[in-house]
Structure 1
């Protein structure tokens, strides 16, 4: 993970709501490759290029939550048992008439789809509101683009995913700043590891 790496999460001792979401956060090498692709795409589309330290893939956005509910989210995350996987970011597109220009996989890896589904089910079971629309794996690269990007990301970005995170968003005049509230590993338990 880029931004939050190496720093302890800030504990909020107050009662103010925290704007939180679960995400995949790239390590520095992957973030740099995604940013290089984003700059190329930005040259085609115009708009506002996302900062390198803000590039991520959202698994579930939860909005404002009380500190007590954030603790529930940490406990819930620790119960998930997803598998590590590789995500090939090879395709670009735009939604909302170019307002969001994104990069993503041609096909969502089954372990990513399973993680998103398991997470959504666990969140609903704890009473959290989860978007009803189907999960769409994507990284926002540009906002307010003026035209659609080329469909292919060349070269594609290979992202080895070994963990997921709970993030807090601090909104400011210069955009969002992100704080990591917790990270949880994904299993590398392959059939070879199990001795079969």
Structure 2
């Protein structure tokens, strides 16, 4: 996976005064391929536009426009997370917005995922960052502008081994909207605190 990917290609935009950012889980290559295959299947049966493989993700916390000078504060919050690695079983398919958006998610959310989202939300709010009012609902958007809802709500599980989370910028480029991974933090393994790094 490239670290500077967009829905239409590679972003070459530098750091602006403000950036539209969010924390997310970003799939490894095998998981992204499996999710993209499911998206392609849903597009065939339901119509619409399948999301590109290099844009698939699960949003943990959406912040919207943030001043560039506050990105370091976001990184500090991310470094403070001490959550163990976990596996996410994506075995549920659903639709939103009048069946126009199709998604895949877990029928049972792992405790570690819920704790990661909760801890992020609490620490972001305490630091003065504004978050969406709606509660956390883990899902990966697969298809937009679908013509009909999926027939089945259950599917064979895609097992996603989650070992890190990322901070992502949502950008407009000459080729359209896209995402750019700004930084990545590994989750803890074997009971040891995770190190961190920027991408």
Shorter-chain TM band = 0.7 to 0.9
Q: Distance in 1 between matches of 2:13 and 2:104?
A: 32
Q: Distance in 1 between matches of 2:148 and 2:175?
A: 24
Q: Which residue of 1 aligns with 2:2?
A: 3
Deviations 1:93-141 (A, max 9, x none): 0011112210000111110000000000000000111122221000000
Q: Which residue of 1 aligns with 2:153?
A: 151
**CA RMSD between the two structures:** 2.0
Deviations 1:19-73 (A, max 9, x none): 1110000011110011001111111211111001000000011111111111211
Deviation at 1:11, TM superposition (A): 9.5
* Structure 1, unpaired ranges of 5+: 191-196
- Counterpart secondary structure, 2:188: coil
Q: Give runs of aligned pairs for residues 94-113 of structure 1, distance below 5 A.
A: 94-113=95-114
TM-score, L = length of structure 2: 0.86
Q: Distance in 2 between matches of 1:134 and 1:39?
A: 28
Q: Which residue of 1 aligns with 2:90?
A: 89
TM-score, L = length of structure 1: 0.87
* Structure 2, unpaired ranges of 5+: 5-11, 192-199
